Amino acid sequence: MDWTWFHRLASPPHVYALAVRLTPWFAWPAALCIAAGLWSGLVLAPPDYQQGDGFRILYVHAPSAWMSLMVYVTMATAAAVGLIWRMKVAHAVAASCAPIGASFTFAALVTGALWGQPMWGTYWQWDPRLTSELVLLFLYLGYMGLRAGIEDPQRADRASAVLAVVGVVNVPIIHYSVTWWNSLHQAPSVMRLAKPAMPFAMLAPLLLMLLGFTLLFAALLLTRLRAEVLARERAASWIREVVSV
């Protein structure tokens, strides 16, 4: 098998050019999917017979929660690649993931709390999924804090990569222990969110939004990666060829 494509990914100018070329291919489909998903979810889908229009926040909440986990796994994978093959660009990818993931996690928490007000009668319920999401936010904050705390950039890359790998091993343990904890304390007021099969008119917008958020993450990641590579390579001569000041 030809591994040239993989080795070329270690070269910052190549990755920069690739990111510039690929960004619109993710950004435009993301915009289309999210616009279509919002229109069909907020306008076309029928109101829920129990939750009324309140359920529509699901179309932002569920994709955010899904992305919060997916970004963490992406970040840890990139970090592991950086550790194993000592690939600087992989560390740049991991560094670019963290603020995006933290933002998705924050969005999932805020939309979850807003959903909780009409459904549970309170903004915050110690529900297992919300609690795990909160812990995930702390994992992101710890990762960013460690990265910011170490001055030498290469040490910051490698130390935070170890933390990301340790974190990804722990995420399932934390999730299941929190679920186990909550099954003991289950308050009777908590609404059962296990839904019977969702009708297609409600499900289709959700799938569109999931696809849109995933594409949005790719576009954001590529954009951040460009900035990250430029910042890291600011002393290199190829920068002058791609950026005209």
Partner 1 sequence: MNQRDGHVAETLGALDAPGAQPRDLPAPARRADAIEAARLALLRDLQLAFRKPGQLVQPLAFFAIVTLLFPLAISPELARLRELAPGVVWVGALLGSLLALEFLFRDDAQDGTLEQYALSGQSLTGLMFAKTLAHWLLTGLPLALMAPFVALSLGVSAAALPGILLAVAVGSVALSLIGSIGAALTLGIKRSGALLSLLTLPLSLPVLIFGARATQLAIHGTSFLGPLELLAALAVLGVTLAPLAAAAAVRISLE
Residues engaged in binding partner 1 (CB under 8 A): 83, 135, 138-139, 141-142, 145-146, 149-150, 152, 154-155, 158-159, 162-163, 165-167, 169-170, 173-174, 177-178, 180-181, 184
Rounded Cα–Cα distance for residues 68 and 132 (Å): 11
Rounded Cα–Cα distance for residues 59 and 67 (Å): 13
Looking at beta carbons only, is 165 or 204 nearer to partner 1? 165
Looking at beta carbons only, is 97 or 164 nearer to partner 1? 164
Looking at beta carbons only, is 167 or 205 nearer to partner 1? 167
Nearest approach, Cβ of residue 133 and partner 1 (Å): 12
Dihedral sign for Cα 42, 113, 180, 193, please: negative
User: Which CA distances in Å does 158 have to 71, 72, 146, 199, 228?
Assistant: 19, 16, 11, 47, 16
Looking at beta carbons only, is 180 or 200 nearer to partner 1? 180
Nearest approach, Cβ of residue 136 and partner 1 (Å): 8
Nearest approach, Cβ of residue 10 and partner 1 (Å): 19
Nearest approach, Cβ of residue 102 and partner 1 (Å): 13
Directed axis angle between helix 88-120 and helix 12-39, to 10°? Answer: 20
- What contacts 20, CB < 8 A, 6 or more positions away? 226, 242
